[in-house]
Structure 1
Amino acid sequence: MALIVYWYDFICFGIVSAAIFASLWILLRKERGCKYIEETVYNSLLISRSESLGSTQLWTSCWRRLHPGWLLFTRSISFLSMAALLTWDIMKWDASIFVYYTEWTFMLVIIYFAMGIVASAYGCLEYPKELTLENDGDEFRKRLEVYGCVMQIIFQTSAGAVVLTDVVFWLVIIPFLSNTHIGLNTLMICMHTANAGFLLLETVLNSLSFPWFRIGYFVLWSCLYVVFQWIIHARGFTWWPYPFLKLDRPWAPLWYLCMAVVHVPCYGAYAAIVKAKNSCFPYLFPYAFVKP
């Protein structure tokens, strides 16, 4: 292998493996359990209930009488803007730019907005009819439930990943790692502000839930990226996009442990934003805001 493995690297492998198994255990346990957890209502990907949430939450806003067209508009603007930035990024650096976690997360957010556009477009068609999920056929209802669950999971994963991306970029890479492979430029600044900005706008408008246990998907997403880095370095890739992922340093296990732990406050920060929205807005806008 092109990747030289030292004894302390097995600690790094163990940290990532433990994170994967712990996340899978939590997700399997919670997704199969009750849909009421931590006073948060959500659709489960592994179970289907007759009292499951309606599909309308995918395109309705938390603001009373706000037409689904407004969500369609904001999601379309977000999708087109982020797609343009990513296209600019690829044209500037070619597809090899996807060795960075930023581009992985950016693409994930774009996928979420693409799914949101489809949901909002459907909502605009159904809005005059005031249809609910129970009015649809059983087969279509199940498909819509699965679509909604995947869309929510991508939203929740993207939220944590965006916070992690921007925190690492602005608080670690910029101040301490000036000699990065790609220097700071306007495009990088735009990408590391647009991702959070568009997602926060979406959060203010949508009515999607944000259960704590789905931090597991966020952790799995990051672990997938780390494993990807190990594989490409084992096959001859020569440099690390993030110095703290290097395996040829005795303190590598400490870095890996810190990066594993930091997922909790990153996901928690966005969960706090959603909780603040649902707690404060009903008092600030009692006649306009509808708590999801």
Structure 2
Amino acid sequence: MERSQAKNVLGFDYWLQWQVLVCALIFLLPAAVAVFLLKKRTSAGSNPLNSTDLWVPCWRNLSPKWLLFYRAIAFVSMSFLLYEIAAAFGFFVFFFYTQWTFALVMVYFAIGTAVSAHGCWIYSRRPLSESGERDKFLKKESEDRKHAMTSISKEKQAKHEQRAGFWEHLMHMIYQTCGGAVMLTDIVFWGLLLPFMTGENFQLTLLIGCMHSVNALLLILDSAVNNMPFPWFGLVYFVLWSVAYVVFQWVLHACCFTWWPYPFLELSTPWAPLWYLALALVHIPCYGLYVLLVKGKQALFSRMFPHSFVRAPMEKKHA
């Protein structure tokens, strides 16, 4: 009986069901739109991302070394947690979206540590407080000064700007992806999966609880200190990240893997298109929630600490 069910699951009949095509369109169409927008933005060009936005804190009197120290500690802590969860449950844990996101946040802190270390090396050679570059890169110029600026001064300013390189842009893209992904994983786990899990098949432990909360906590704390913009365009990277996971799961099941890590990814039920549509739509509020957190930081801290906090260039369109 079990063998016949396995054949039905793994056979061509399973993939020829009408809901499979509908579910494929639900996540492939947003992926196509995301790729189109990404190519359009790349070809059109955008305001360059300054390298100092990634390693200089948004607090005027806070040394970049503190941000470097925090990112290094966060990377080591997450590496330890990921090792513990893999040692406890095996390589099996990497079939879950949570571990994908957790590992991605860990990669963000790894690259962030390297970028901050390079920035601190520059900072040690020429402190930003002495050269005045901190205010130039972090403070938003007034409208009167912008109108009074001549074309010659604009050219001089452009020459002095430190353009972000490959690793800085990669770090910023991962940062935007992680912002939406940590909201999605933690909200789905604590609000959707955990309340319906039975005690016999699942038991919430401290390790599992940390796996579904530490990633968001560490990233939010980093956002409270860093000066990176968090534009809505980053939703494109978030969508592509989730689509990559769904494609990964479909490929596994096409290769005779019979178990779905999440019940709402199951394709045999006629309700599958509704689940996939709901998962696609929930990306918008999850990413928007992190956008609101960053904007709330800008609005709240700039009022509470007007002389210490420096607003990030949120209006710029960074890639």
**TM-score between both structures, scaled by the size of structure 1:** 0.87
* 1:161 aligned onto 2:181: yes
1:27 and 1:214 in contact (8 A); partners too: no
Question: 2:286 & 2:200 partners in 1: Cα distance?
Answer: 23
Q: Which residue of 1 aligns with 2:30?
A: 19
1:62 and 1:207 in contact (8 A); partners too: yes
2:23 and 2:273 in contact (8 A); partners too: yes
* 1:201 aligned onto 2:221: yes
Question: 1:54 & 1:275 partners in 2: Cα distance?
Answer: 20
**Root-mean-square deviation (CA), in Å?**
2.3
Instruction: Please say which of residues 260-269 and 270-279 is displaced more in the overlay.
Output: 270-279
Aligned residues: 272
Q: Compared with structure 1, are the counterparts of its residues 60 and 180 closer, same or farther at alpha carbon in structure 2 (3 Å cutoff)? A: farther
Q: Which residue of 2 aligns with 1:239?
A: 259
* 1:225 aligned onto 2:245: yes
Q: Which residue of 2 aligns with 1:38?
A: none
Q: Which residue of 1 aligns with 2:53?
A: 57
Question: 1:180 & 1:158 partners in 2: Cα distance?
Answer: 32
* 1:69 aligned onto 2:65: yes
Q: Which has the larger radius of gyration?
A: 2
Matches within 5 A, 1:1-292: 2=10, 4-5=14-15, 6-33=17-44, 35=46, 52-128=48-124, 129-130=126-127, 144-178=164-198, 183-292=203-312
Deviation at 1:65, TM superposition (A): 2.3
Q: Which residue of 2 aligns with 1:48?
A: none
Structure 1 unaligned spans of 5+: 36-42, 44-51
Deviation at 1:179, TM superposition (A): 7.0
What whole-Å deviation, never above 9, does each CA across 1:134-168 have from its counterpart, x for those lacking one? 9xxx9xx77x4221111000000011000000010
What whole-Å deviation, never above 9, does each CA across 1:83-115 have from its counterpart, x for those lacking one? 100000111111121000000000000000000
What whole-Å deviation, never above 9, does each CA across 1:33-52 have from its counterpart, x for those lacking one? 463xxxxxxx6xxxxxxxx3
Deviation at 1:184, TM superposition (A): 2.3
Q: Which secondary structure does the structure 1 equivalent of 2:222 belong to?
A: helix
2:56 and 2:227 in contact (8 A); partners too: yes
Question: 1:247 & 1:179 partners in 2: Cα distance?
Answer: 26
What residue identity is the alignment partner of 1:208? M
Deviation at 1:127, TM superposition (A): 0.7
Q: Compared with structure 1, are the counterparts of its residues 13 and 181 closer, same or farther at alpha carbon in structure 2 (3 Å cutoff)? A: farther
Q: Which secondary structure does the structure 2 equivalent of 1:92 belong to?
A: helix
Could you tell me the percent identity over the aligned residues?
45
1:8 and 1:252 in contact (8 A); partners too: yes
Question: 1:18 & 1:286 partners in 2: Cα distance?
Answer: 44
Q: Compared with structure 1, are the counterparts of its residues 26 and 76 closer, same or farther at alpha carbon in structure 2 (3 Å cutoff)? A: same
Question: 1:220 & 1:113 partners in 2: Cα distance?
Answer: 20
2:49 and 2:169 in contact (8 A); partners too: no
Deviation at 1:58, TM superposition (A): 1.5
Deviation at 1:280, TM superposition (A): 1.7
Q: Which residue of 1 aligns with 2:142?
A: none
What residue identity is the alignment partner of 1:127? Y
Instruction: Please say which of residues 87-96 and 122-131 is displaced more in the overlay.
Output: 122-131
Question: 2:297 & 2:41 partners in 1: Cα distance?
Answer: 24
Deviation at 1:30, TM superposition (A): 3.1
1:181 and 1:241 in contact (8 A); partners too: no
Structure 2 unaligned spans of 5+: 1-8, 138-154, 313-319
